[in-house]
Structure 1
Amino acid sequence: MGIFKIEGGIPLKGEITPQGAKNEALQILCAVLLTPEKVIINNIPDIIDINKLITLLGNLGVKIQKTGAGSYTFQADEVNVQYLETEAFKKEGGSLRGSIMIVGPLLARFGRGYIPKPGGDKIGRRRLDTHFEGFINLGAKFRYNREDHFYGVEATDGLTGADMLLDEASVTGTANIVMAAVLAKGRTTIYNAACEPYLQQLCKMLNSMGANITGVGSNLLTIEGVESLGGCEHRILPDMIEIGSWIGLAAMTRSEITIKNVSWENLGVIPNTFRKLGITLEKRGDDIYIPAHLDGYEVKTDIDGSILTIADAPWPGFTPDLLSIVLVVATQARGDVLIHQKMFESRLFFVDKLIDMGAKIMLCDPHRAVVMGHDFKSQLKATTMSSPDIRAGISLLIAALSAKGTSTIQNIEQIDRGYERIDERLRAIGAHIIRA
């Protein structure tokens, strides 16, 4: 198991370019199963979770060719659907949360899709009901083997369009249902659909393949089923979670950093949320420039003077994946912040590690924490800690880079699942970090 050794308290300086978006790539890669024609995808991040999915597609029989850094050609003209019922697939599919999104395309094109209970971050209950209720609405039959936690949906006579109101605006659930509906007979409407930029990207890609999806960007999608889809070329957006991570890193280490090519129009409320913490960031073309915050940053209270609350919400609200970053940034702010993590009940449990480093945090319950900022008058102390999940892992890494002394982070495979060559990229802007 790898570790990072980090010498903190050193200001950084330079430019950093965000990787391709992990959460978009998981959807886009599954969509290649919808056509026998070639699909070219660019800006794919080289991270553990994405590489696992690419390997899974290869084992399903998809022909894969790497054509350059982050660029691949996929052709699913000889898919081996029988692989889904092997023990090897049960083990492979169960290690990756994103594997759930192969079910929709397989069901649409081949009439059946199976998946073991997916893995991923241990951040609380992550229900799959929205996915399978959507498939059932389209006419699929559902079965679940409780003994080995194996899910299956089948539609031997094909899928038929339907009107549905999702019980939650699940991003992966919406993506899965959309990919199933594009080849269904007739019209499908999905209300309370997720409308994140990555879901919009999936819909735009499918339309370029010949699908007929309208309402993209809203919470009401209308899909007219088509008989088949063709090939296309698609470029993945920069990762908004990584962009938010670099904003937090710059503030905590009081560094002057430029984040390149961020796709400002797809960042939503992320820039303004960091501004509420008192962080200065400037739009320079399609880049974000963050000056060194030598005098710190002051939290803005609500209009009535009450404590600032930052909470997650479905898009266009603030993404839950960045709440861990906001929490660690707040530890050195001038003022107090209430962090309200609504979606996952275990995501705030990493705060004990920050408290060990000297942060002033009161965990109110599994969903809420009050952070009392130090205003850099009391620097965080180096320590040894373990990364519990991707987002907590990057938050602890940011804390270590700002702390006085040398910290050790264990279980860094969790960080590598979501961040590409992070130690190399941080060293390029002056960080003292070693992978051991």
Structure 2
Amino acid sequence: MDLSFILNELGEERENYFNAISPPIMQSSNFSFKDVEALRGAMNDEFESSLYSRGQNPTLTILRKKLAALDGAEDALLFSSGISAISVPILSLLKSGDHIIAVDNLYSWTIKLFKDFLPKFGITTTFIDGTVFENFGQAATPQTRLIYLESPNTFCYELQDIRKVTDFAKSRGIITMIDNSYCSPLYQQPISMGVDLVAQSATKYIGGHSDVVAGVLTGSKAVLKKIFDHEFMNTGPALSPHSAWLLLRGLRTLPLRLQRSFESTRIITEWLASHPAVQDVIWPFSPKFNQADLVSQQMQGCGGLFSLILKHSSFSKIERFCNSLKHILLAVSWGGHESLVVPAIASFSEDEYSADNDHHQLIRMYIGLEDPQYLIADIKQALEK
């Protein structure tokens, strides 16, 4: 299906809303029906019906079709946050006694989900170095029901061999799930590599304007309907119609924004790699990236998220650099128009800092839509401090 058709036309039955170019925000909690039979049909299948906006809504339906098509999936389910798009399906598909294999260095709230929340329900997790394929087989047990990937992850940018992992999982009857937030559907299509469920934070590149929090899950219609009919409807993580409309707006410019961010990041990372104050730059499309072959095999590109390590790094030096930036903002998340920075030391105190731990030295930067030379000038003056 053509990308331009998906972004600009798919699901947009304009004759149903006065031929408006922009879809309407169906800001309604409930919907009426012409007779009892029609109402009964909607009540029996809320997954495919707009009955009550805790479930589906016409504005969400347009977005749902587009996001499913972008991922090459049968269907999509929309959530009020990225972490709910991860936690709800796991709660739906796993039960007490089940086991998860998860890769190291995940998104922080996903780690908390696996370490602190799921054990309350008798679900255990083994964390492995996902860059070594053999670790998956060694960690698997008869109780393993899910393999959870994040490729690349979003501080160290470690990749997993998605096709190898899914082939292994299918041979054991294990479900596979991936957080694809880093790449977006434009630059990586995990379903084509055999992944069962693809989650992403739509807050990031899909929204693109730092004004909406949302999540999306794509996969088979049968599995998504199972998740929707029980755990989704019982926990109530529905996306609002207004948030769905903001994501529809963001989708229109997704290819342009990703391309701009990618090109600017290439310029800035090349400049940083040659700077005497910088020890290392970690970005999947950097010439020295240690998994370059896997990048070319799985990814068609990536956005503007990378990490750097300063030479002779220290807690105070990292803090001083980040505090000295004038135009690159200290903030979490990424994917918007604005460039951001967040150091690993923001999550712990100076007493906990170890100069021998490379992860402690990481400074994550996101390059937005500003002129790259404007950002280089800001980074340069901060490095000189």
Instruction: Give TM-score, length-normalised by structure 2.
Output: 0.26
Return the structure number with greater helix share: 2
Q: Which has the higher contact order (CA 8 A, sep 6+)?
A: 1
Return the structure number with greater strand share: 1
Instruction: Give TM-score, length-normalised by structure 1.
Output: 0.24
